[in-house]
């Protein structure tokens, strides 16, 4: 992936792909922007593997290369990692929910930046957006601005002024706007999985299901995963 002058390629990008609709839209936006993409999919000990399987299908559908990174956070600290902690309902949310995984986006972005620097890629895409704030502090615009500064001063690429850009194309969009963007890009929403639980069908009760359902309703569209 190294170009003739050894510089970072502005046409290569790393995409963090979770299997949910936000990351799927982000992948298709990166392709629309003209990037050749490599996806990173994390198997980090979450409650179920459905989102990992969904991410693999989405990457294949998009014709994108992908790597699965397996890691464990043995200290847990989240209801997504610890089956003993109950998944909260959206109407019971108070402050940062138990589904917050300590430092998850910092960890994932660090892997992505390392991959980007080694592969001479000029950008990292992540599907964070402000609807998840104040629920998740690592989804705020100020976090990404701060992280970008860290990348600039803490990597060889940054020191040599070969910028790795952290791209958050969904950061100010509502879920409905994200869905409408995905429809225009022909994102296969039927392959995505958003539910925090790993049943045969979405639980329709967790926060993630709530925001997904609300997004499709406000977009005036049916959720294809419910039509299967």
Cα of first residue to Cα of last residue in the chain, in angstroms, is: 39
Q: Count CA atoms within 13 Å of residue 194 on its CB side.
A: 24
Reply yes or no on whether the pLDDT at 135 is more than 80.
Answer: no
Read off the pTM: 0.93
Beta-carbon count within 10 A of 127 CB: 25
Region 208-221: what's the mean pLDDT?
95
Place 216 in a pLDDT band, splitting at 50, 70 and 90: very high
199-203, long-range: CB < 8 A, 24+ apart = 201/226, 202/226
Distance CA 206, CA 216 (A): 16
Task: Tell me the per-residue pLDDT of 165-192, one tens digit each, with 9 for 90 and over.
Answer: 999 999 999 999 999 999 999 999 999 9
| Element holding 214 (H helix, E strand) | helix 207-219
- With beta carbons less than 8 A apart as the criterion, state whether 141 and 21 touch: no
Backbone angles phi, psi at 137, to 5 degrees: -65, -25
User: What is the set of domains in the chain, with CATH numbers?
Assistant: 9-226 (3.40.50.620)
Instruction: Quote the CA–CA distance of 62 and 188 in Å, as a whole number.
Output: 9
d(CA 45, CA 135): 21
Beta strand ranges found along 112-178 (DSSP E):
121-125, 165-167
User: pLDDT digit string (tens) for 22-54?
Assistant: 999 999 999 999 999 999 999 999 988 999 999
Model pLDDT, residue 133: 57
């Amino acid at each position: 992936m190294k170009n003739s002058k050894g510089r970072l390629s502005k046409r290569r990008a790393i995409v963090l792909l979770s299997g949910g609709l936000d990351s799927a839209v982000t992948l298709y936006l990166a392709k629309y922007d003209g990037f050749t993409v490599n996806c990173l999919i994390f198997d980090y000990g979450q409650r179920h593997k459905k989102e990992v399987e969904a991410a693999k299908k989405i990457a294949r559908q998009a014709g994108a290369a992908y790597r699965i990174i397996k890691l464990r956070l043995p200290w847990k600290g989240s209801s997504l990692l610890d089956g003993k902690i109950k998944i909260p309902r959206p109407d019971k949310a108070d402050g940062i929910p138990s589904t917050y995984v300590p430092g998850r986006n910092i960890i994932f972005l660090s892997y992505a930046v390392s991959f980007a620097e080694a592969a001479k890629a000029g950008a990292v895409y992540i599907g964070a957006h402000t609807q998840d704030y104040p629920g998740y502090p690592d989804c705020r615009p100020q976090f990404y601005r701060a992280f970008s500064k860290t990348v600039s001063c803490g990597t060889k690429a940054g020191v040599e002024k070969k910028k790795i850009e952290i791209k958050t194309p969904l950061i100010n969009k509502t879920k409905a706007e994200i869905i409408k963007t995905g429809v225009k890009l022909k994102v296969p929403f039927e392959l995505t999985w958003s539910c925090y639980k790993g049943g045969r069908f979405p639980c329709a009760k967790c926060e993630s299901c709530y925001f997904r359902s609300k997004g499709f309703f406000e977009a005036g569209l049916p959720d294809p995963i419910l039509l299967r």
